[in-house]
Amino acid sequence: MKKLGLLISALTTVFFANAQSTVVSGPSPNSTPQFSVNLAVLGNNNRSIADDFVEEADRYERFGDFDAAANMLSKAAKEYQQNKKYASYGSTLIRLSNLYILLANYSEAEQIVLKQVLKNYTRMGSRAGQMSAYQQLGKIYLAANKLPQSLWFYTQHGILAQQLKDNNAYIESVLGIAAVKIRKKDYQLASKDLNTAEFLSKNANIIQYNQLIKTNRAFITEKTTTIKKG
């Protein structure tokens, strides 16, 4: 079982070189915490069995047991679907696909988004949901080193973000495209994308991507300096 630490945001998990491939040993089977799902709803009529499954997934995830967490999220997604809570169903599936990325099961992560998430958001008529699915596919294909597919989906993500006038999503799409170019070692083009992301962030008074941009630039500087010395 692979333990990569707690899930971090979609951008910081996979945008940079080999970040998604860092693996450390997980706890031994004998030391893995065991949790039982409490199916009873105590004092909160708004909670559901699906919510309990999600809570259990959170606990397993904190202890690095991503297989068990994925199992709980799968059960939660089925419950949300049966209860026609389609927004929760879609977001839970995206989170499930994130776990499969951490487990390096890119095929399963891909199929969840292509066959379930996109279908769900299309049925809902949610363009914002479709946009998040495109971003997730860009992330999956980047982790799987399928760079043409990743670039295509990050581009579609950006197109929808512009149509929806979602500044944050558009900046994230530009950063995703930059990540693909970094992986391709197109450092000059990646730098231009980082400049674009910085410009957009300043214009929209958004500061949350500053550190990510800075880290990317430092990575590019390191790689280009090494190339020149070589």
The pLDDT of residue 45 is above 90: no
Which CATH number covers residue 8?
1.25.40.10
Identify the residue with better confidence: 201 or 3: 201
Query: According to the model, what pLDDT value does residue 226 have?
Result: 72
Query: What pLDDT digit, counting tens, does each position of 165-211 carry?
Result: 999 999 999 999 999 999 999 999 999 999 999 999 999 999 999 99
- Beta-carbon contacts of 32 under 8 Å, excluding residues fewer than 6 positions away, are 63, 65
Query: What pLDDT digit, counting tens, does each position of 93-139 carry?
Result: 999 999 999 999 999 999 999 999 999 999 999 999 999 999 999 99
The pLDDT of residue 84 is above 70: yes
- pLDDT confidence of 47, banded at 50, 70, 90? confident
User: For residue 41, is it within any domain?
Assistant: no
Domain count, the chain: 1
Amino acid at 105: N
Whole-number percent of the chain with pLDDT over 70: 79
Structural domain range at position 136: 2-26+47-229
- Beta-carbon contacts of 155 under 8 Å, excluding residues fewer than 6 positions away, are 173, 177
The pLDDT of residue 37 is above 80: no
User: For residue 35, is it within any domain?
Assistant: no
User: For residue 52, is it within any domain?
Assistant: yes
Lowest mean pLDDT among 37-51, 63-77, 128-142: 37-51
Q: Say how many CA atoms lie within 13 Å of 212 toward its Cβ.
A: 26
Query: According to the model, what pLDDT value does residue 46 have?
Result: 72
User: For residue 37, is it within any domain?
Assistant: no
User: For residue 70, is it within any domain?
Assistant: yes
User: For residue 38, is it within any domain?
Assistant: no
Lowest mean pLDDT among 40-44, 69-73, 178-182: 40-44
Query: According to the model, what pLDDT value does residue 229 have?
Result: 67
Residues 8, 103, 151, 117, CA torsion sign: negative
User: For residue 20, is it within any domain?
Assistant: yes
- pTM of the entire predicted model: 0.80
Distance between CA 88 and CA 76 in Å, rounded? 9
Distance between CA 137 and CA 165 in Å, rounded? 21
